């Protein structure tokens, strides 16, 4: 019994020593600086540029690009690891009041063109507004593409890929998203 207690103490001491040494490792500090810088770039600095309504709930892991082209209405909820990437020019993202985004939702109001034979990254971007109507719920991992117009009260299922116009109170699922039902209007 005495030997087990001794091994447990030695094991705890070993773990504590490794923990302390990890704080002294310059690689750990370099990684921490990168994480803080990335977080500041994709969340803090861009979120300052976003036009925001009242009583928002935004996950600290949400990512924004071109925040000056993003508008969030009152009482919107942005889940963990959501990406709202407006276009660098005119591609806006507009969320009306009471929109709820589950974790992992991706919205991009810009996309690269690929039709003239030159490298994709050398071509101009195609930008189009994304508009999400009042009281819309977008499920986990859904992708909303440039030009999407989601009507009031719609529900977008998990993993759906949405482009184009979505009728009010429609329920969509799939890739590409198709209407699978309708929601009762209040």
Concatenated DSSP letters of 7-19 = HHHHHHHHHHHHH
Cα(16)–Cα(94) distance, rounded to whole angstroms?
49
Report pLDDT for 86. Answer: 93
Report pLDDT for 147. Answer: 95
Q: Are 77 and 54 in contact (CB under 8 A)?
A: no
Cα(177)–Cα(180) distance, rounded to whole angstroms?
9
Cα(11)–Cα(71) distance, rounded to whole angstroms?
53
Q: Which two tokens stand for residue 16?
A: 């504590």
Q: Are 110 and 85 in contact (CB under 8 A)?
A: yes
Q: Are 38 and 58 in contact (CB under 8 A)?
A: no
Q: Which two tokens stand for residue 124?
A: 């101009």
Per residue in 36-61, pLDDT (tens digit) is 666 555 666 788 899 999 999 999 88
- Mind listing the domains of the chain with CATH numbers? 1-49 (no CATH), 51-182 (2.160.10.10)
Per-position pLDDT tens, the chain of length 186: 555 555 556 688 888 888 787 777 888 777 777 776 665 556 667 888 999 999 999 998 899 999 999 999 999 999 999 999 999 888 999 999 999 999 999 999 998 777 777 887 788 888 999 999 999 999 999 999 999 999 999 999 999 999 999 999 999 999 999 999 999 877
Report pLDDT for 186. Answer: 73
């Amino acid at each position: 019994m005495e030997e087990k207690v001794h091994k447990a103490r030695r094991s705890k001491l070993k773990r504590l020593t490794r923990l302390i040494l990890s704080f002294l490792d310059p690689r750990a500090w370099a990684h921490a600086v990168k994480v803080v810088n990335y977080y500041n770039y994709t969340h803090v600095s861009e979120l300052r540029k976003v036009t925001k309504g009242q009583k928002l709930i935004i996950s600290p892991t949400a990512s924004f690009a071109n925040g000056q082209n993003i508008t969030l209405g009152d009482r919107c909820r942005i889940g963990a690891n959501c990406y709202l990437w407006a276009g660098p020019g005119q591609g806006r993202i507009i969320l009306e009041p009471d929109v709820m985004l589950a974790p992992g939702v991706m919205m991009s109001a810009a996309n690269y063109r690929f039709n003239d034979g030159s490298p994709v990254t050398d071509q101009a971007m195609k930008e189009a507004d994304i508009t999400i109507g009042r009281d819309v719920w977008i499920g986990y991992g859904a992708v909303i593409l440039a030009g999407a117009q989601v009507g009031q009260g719609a529900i977008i299922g998990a993993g759906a890929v949405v482009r184009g116009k979505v009728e009010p109170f429609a329920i969509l699922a799939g890739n590409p998203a198709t209407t699978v039902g309708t929601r009762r209007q209040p």
